[in-house]
Amino acid sequence: MFQSAKIKLYDAKFSGFMLRLIQRDECELCDQAWEILHQAGIRDFESIYIEGDNHLEQRYGNSVPVLCWQEMELHWPFTLQQVQDWLKVLA
């Protein structure tokens, strides 16, 4: 899942799974989440915007951003260390 380098990088094509970031447009917390994902070496993920989707609005509401893989979710606020630990569980 990870490339051996100074910073281990997540690569969806190599790992065989795609992370999703549930978010809102024009969301400062979501921008902070993007930065944490970047620091964690995650460059390839699917952005899912909840605006206009009643199901996603009801499910996530004001709890965005949320990092997802299959049924696992990491809700905001999360730190760089929490993202790195979460990725280890997925490995």
Pairing mode, strands 45-49 and 19-23: parallel
pLDDT tens digits, residue range 52-74? 999 999 999 999 999 999 899 99
pLDDT tens digits, residue range 6-63? 345 556 566 567 899 999 999 999 999 999 999 998 888 999 999 999 999 999 999 9
- First-residue to last-residue Cα distance in the chain: 7
Burial of 1 (0-12, 13-18, 19+ CB in 10 A): middle
Q: Which two tokens stand for residue 37?
A: 């994902």
Burial 31-41 (b: 16+ CB within 10 A, else e): eebbebbeebb
